[in-house]
Homo-oligomer: A and B are copies of this chain.
Amino acid sequence: MKSQRRSILKRLFASLAGVTGLGAVAQAKTDATPEKEVFNVTTYQDVPLFSGSTKHGNLIFVAGKGYHKEGDIKVHTDEVLKELEAELKKAGSSMDKVLKVNVYLHDLNDYKGMNEVYKGRFGSKPPVRTTVAVYGGVPGDSLVEMDCIAYV
């Protein structure tokens, strides 16, 4: 049932991305509200949906990232961590400045494989982490979704 779910999700997400323009990305860093900066706005039907990161004071919030291509949990974990790092850099931060990470696995059996790639990626003073599995609940058929809070 799980793999059936995943394959349905794969189709759903593919059609979402293709038909509706989800995934269209534009830089938005305006000065309307100077207390808040946003980066990498994703639109949906030409309307702002969510940002890749937001900045307030010296805090950075990064959106949930998944990996929507083939690969096992090690590949997905690696790619998702690279996506987080790219957003952090864009906002002027870095992996060693991350304070908190949330990890949503597709399957808890991937916990060990995720850890093997995850360990050490945030330096010697790692962020806190909360991990749960959601069994079919990660959008776009990703085996893992992660978000984080950091600082600059």
Q: Which A residues are closer than 8 A to B by beta carbons? A: 8-9, 12, 16, 20, 22, 28, 30, 32-33, 35-38, 41, 43-45, 47-54, 56-59, 61-64, 96-97, 99-102, 104-105, 108-109, 111-112, 115-116, 118-120, 122-139, 145, 147, 149, 151
Contact = CB atoms under 8 A, between A and B. Distances in A.
A36 to B, nearest CB: 6
Given A12-B108, A61-B149, A137-B105, A50 B99 contact: no
A108 to B, nearest CB: 6
Interface of A is mostly: mixed
Contacts of A115: 20, 22, 44, 49
5 closest residue pairs by CB, A with B: A64-B130, A133-B137, A63-B128, A50-B129, A47-B120
A92 to B, nearest CB: 13
B130 A147 contact: yes
Nearest to A48: B126
B119 A48 contact: yes
